[in-house]
Amino acid sequence: MSTTVRKPAYRRPARRRRRYRKYHLRRSFTFGPGFLAPLGGWLYLGEPLHWAGLAAMAAAGLVIIPAAVVFTLFCLPAIIIGGPFRQWRISHRMRHDREHCKSAYISAGLRRVVSAMDRNSCLYCGITAAELALLPPRVNLNGVLTPRRVHIDHGQPWKAGGRTTLFNLCVLCDEHNEIKLNYWRERWGRRKGYIWYRPQRRNPQRLLVAADITRVVLRKRRSIFRLVRAAWALG
């Protein structure tokens, strides 16, 4: 009696998920010159015991070089792609919602770095996430009772063409984030003087507070200490 051997059905191998290599800005690359530059000044330059030379080399290594590295890697590309590209971004985002645009998504790694850069506290009032958690829940703009927490906010609003980059993001508490919303005053171009803000919640008092929050955020965003904390968190 002959038996036929049935071949097993062919199964297509599962497609492996493609993995992308992560590129990190290492602490040694950022802060290494901060220790090597004073050492080089001590060994090779001028009078080794002169305090002014050591102070200048230490300032160059600990402040200027890390700030220049972070500016070149993050701020300079943002400046280059600004200008007319922003008008294209605005026109595209006016036609689509946040759910349909990848540019509005803030990744978990970016949230971690922004939280470390602002020490997980509101950039306007200074309250921390731990202090907010101890406060009772509040009613938000939609009338829902929500627990208190900090939010990651776009300094220049996403709707107004703001990019989801490290130095356009900041930490705000839920109360001040709801007041600020998408406030932005155009400073140049065809829309100079135009104010981005939601009309249904636009009243003089909220407008003044939103303008003050934006002014404080833009001023504190330029702090050199934020650059150092961001470089340390990226390592």
Q: According to the model, what pLDDT value does residue 70 have?
A: 76
Q: According to the model, what pLDDT value does residue 203 have?
A: 82
Query: For 4-24, how does the pLDDT look when each residue is reduced to its tens digit (9 = 90+)?
Result: 556 555 566 655 655 545 545
For 151-187, give one letter per residue: b (16+ CB within 10 A) or e: ebbbbbbbbbbbbbbbbbbbbbbbbbbbbbbbbbbee
> What distances in angstroms separate CA 226 from CA 91, 169, 230, one per listed residue?
32, 12, 6
**Three-class SS state of 53:** helix
Query: For 112-158, how does the pLDDT look when each residue is reduced to its tens digit (9 = 90+)?
Result: 999 999 999 999 999 999 999 999 998 887 788 889 999 999 988 98
**Average pLDDT taken over every residue of the chain:** 78
**Three-class SS state of 65:** helix
**Residue 80 pLDDT > 70:** no
Q: According to the model, what pLDDT value does residue 20 have?
A: 46
What are the φ/ψ torsions at residue 45 (nearest 5 degrees)? -105, 130
Percent of the chain with pLDDT over 90: 20
Global pTM exceeds 0.85: no
Bridge partners (DSSP) of residue 172 are: 151
Residue type, 217: V
Please state, as a whole number, how many other Cβ atoms lie within 10 Å of the Cβ of residue 227: 23
**Residue 49 pLDDT > 60:** no
Query: For 150-198, how does the pLDDT look when each residue is reduced to its tens digit (9 = 90+)?
Result: 999 998 898 888 888 888 899 999 999 988 888 888 877 677 778 888 7
3-state helix, strand, coil in the chain (%, to 5): 50, 10, 40
